[in-house]
Structures are given as C-alpha cells and as structure tokens.
C-alpha cells in the first residue's frame, strides 16, 4: 500500500476509533450516573447530572452531539476535576510523551546495538549475553518489575526517588520499567534480521572486495535489516502507551495513564472516554509515522507517482 493511500486512510480510521470508543463505553453495564453519584444519590441530582452528560437523549443523538463537540475540541466536562476534559488531558499528556519517549530511546539505543553484536558474534559470549538479556526482558512484565525496581533502587539503596515527576532522576526507574520488555523483543528481532542480511549477495560482495568487517556490517547489512526493526519499533511505541497505565500508577507519574486509572476510580465517565480516545488517536499517529519511515527506507513502499 502506498504512502498516499495510508494518509487517506487516517481520517476514516480515526473516525472509526471515535465511534467505537463512544459505543463501547455506552455498552458497559450499569447506569453511569448511578455509578458516579452512588446508589444513595438524590433523584434530582441524578437527573441533573444525566442531563448535563446528555444521557437523557437517544443514543444516536448522543453520538452526533459527541462528534460535533469533538470537532470543536470539546471532550466534555470532567466530574472529578470539575474542568473540561480536554484541559485535564492536555495538562497530563506531555508527561506521558516524556516517559514513552525516554523508554523508547532507551530500548532502541540499547537493543539495536546489542542485537547487531549478537549477530556478528554468533554462538560467542556476546551472543549468549544478548540472548539472556532478551529472554529476561520478555519474561519480566512491568507489573512485576516496577515494584522490584522501587524496592531495590529507592527503598533499599536510596539512589533514586520513589515516585513523582521532577528531574532526570525521577524518570530513570519508570523509563527502565517500561523499556525492558521492548528491549527484549528488539534484541531478538535485530539479531535475526542482521543474521539474514549477512548472507545477502551485496554483503558477501562487499566482504569479498576486502572491506573492513565493521563497514560490511554497519553500512551494508544493518540498513538492509532495518525494515522489520523499524516496524517493530513503531508497533511497540504505540504499545508503550498501554504500558504507561501500569507504570505511571506504580510510580505516581502524572501522565494520561494514571489519569485514566483515576478516572475509572472516580467513575468519571467523560474523562475515561477522553483518555481512551486520545490513546487510540496517538496509536494511529505513531503507526502512520512508522509507515512513512519505512517508505523512506524502502523506495518500493512509496507512491508510484
């Protein structure tokens, strides 16, 4: 599929995500007003909130009203924060981007070189170390790793702060916790891709011409092996947003993942809807950027025109 077609598919994809998020949240069993206010709430208060949320209207009319507000940047009003949902999310979104970018950079900067070294030293000590790191990274979920990092590096050693967002020290533990799983997958894929590329004809020809081994690997083999790696990085970058829900909660990181948990705990129906929608839109945007990056690496993926 060409880049032009991918760009054309973005709008219907975003529209589909928007409608699905709205429909799924409205299909959840129970009355959201009763959940927000509790069973003992006064009838008048329940009726007022139901009217404010537009829940007293037919479903189709609610959807049209939501889409109309979304076009204007209106995601509704947060019950828990007593503020527009768009403003609440905008205040927390940069923190999530900071954490996800740090985790992504850590995984890429560490995982790709480690995978290349494992491929060029196949069956050697470096290969064993790389595969061990990869296996441990895949086996340790952030739900388990995050509390362990807090206990060891914050509570026991006292090297890093326990929670919150501040300087670089506050970013280390949550970024490591989020990056480990992606690092494990990235090492394995990079190793396999480079091993395959080392057997390509142009790589063998470069080696036969007497080119230095480091030049053969990094100039000829690695660029050939990058396409699947870039695809994985793009997919995992989107998945990092889901991982931030757990990581931000453990480390009290004030991002959109923790905001989503707070919205669920407070039964803040509009806030939960807005958070899920923003995460979905971000995921689509990341995948679009991945497709564009692949088109730059492989001319066959570009438009014919």
- pLDDT class of 21 with cuts at 50, 70, 90: confident
- pLDDT class of 302 with cuts at 50, 70, 90: low
- The per-residue DSSP string of 167-184 comes to SHHHHHHHHHHHHHHHHH
Of 26-30, 58-62, 89-93, 206-210, least confident by mean pLDDT is: 26-30
pLDDT higher than 80, residue 207: no
pLDDT higher than 70, residue 298: no
The mean pLDDT value for 117-135 works out to: 85
Q: Which two tokens stand for residue 18?
A: 């928007």
pLDDT higher than 80, residue 40: no
pLDDT higher than 80, residue 56: no
- pLDDT class of 204 with cuts at 50, 70, 90: confident
The mean pLDDT value for 37-53 works out to: 74
Domains in the chain with CATH codes: 11-74 (no CATH), 86-301 (1.10.3720.10)
Q: Helix 142-149 and helix 168-197: axis angle, to 10°?
A: 130
Quote the pLDDT of residue 303: 54
Quote the pLDDT of residue 233: 83
Return the number of other C-beta atoms located less than 10 Å from residue 244's C-beta: 26
What kind and span of H or E run contains 84? strand 83-84
The mean pLDDT value for 36-52 works out to: 74
Closest CA relative to residue 76, chosen from 256, 270, 275: 270
Quote the pLDDT of residue 43: 76
pLDDT higher than 80, residue 177: yes
Quote the pLDDT of residue 301: 55
For residue 212, report the phi and psi dihedrals to the nearest 5 degrees: -60, 150
The mean pLDDT value for 29-37 works out to: 68
């Amino acid at each position: 599929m060409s880049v032009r077609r991918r760009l054309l598919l973005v709008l219907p994809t975003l529209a589909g995500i928007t409608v699905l998020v709205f429909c799924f949240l409205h299909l959840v069993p129970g009355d959201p007003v009763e959940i927000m206010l509790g069973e003992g709430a006064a009838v008048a208060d329940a009726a007022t909130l139901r009217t404010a949320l537009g829940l007293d209207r037919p479903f189709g009319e609610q959807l049209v009203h939501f889409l109309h507000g979304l076009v204007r940047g209106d995601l509704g009003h947060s019950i828990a924060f007593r503020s527009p949902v768009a403003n609440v999310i905008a205040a927390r979104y940069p923190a999530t981007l900071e954490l996800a970018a740090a985790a992504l950079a850590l995984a890429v900067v560490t995982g790709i070189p480690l995978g290349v070294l494992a491929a060029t030293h196949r069956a050697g000590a470096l290969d064993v170390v790389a595969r061990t790191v990869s296996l441990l990274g895949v086996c340790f979920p952030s739900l388990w790793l995050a509390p362990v990092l807090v206990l060891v590096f914050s509570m026991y050693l006292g090297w890093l702060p326990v929670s919150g967002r501040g300087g670089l020290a506050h970013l280390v533990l949550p970024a490591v916790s989020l990056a480990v799983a992606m690092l494990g997958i990235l090492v394995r894929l990079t190793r396999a891709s480079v091993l395959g590329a080392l057997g390509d004809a142009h790589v063998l020809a470069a080696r036969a011409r007497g080119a230095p081994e480091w030049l053969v690997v990094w100039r000829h083999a690695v660029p050939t092996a990058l396409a699947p790696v870039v695809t994985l990085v793009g997919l995992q970058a989107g998945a990092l947003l889901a991982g931030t829900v757990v990581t931000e909660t453990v480390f009290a990181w004030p991002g959109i993942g923790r905001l989503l948990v707070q919205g669920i705990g407070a039964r803040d129906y509009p806030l939960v809807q807005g958070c899920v929608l923003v995460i979905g839109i971000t995921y689509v945007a990341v995948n679009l950027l991945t497709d564009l990056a692949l088109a730059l690496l492989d001319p066959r993926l570009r438009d014919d025109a």
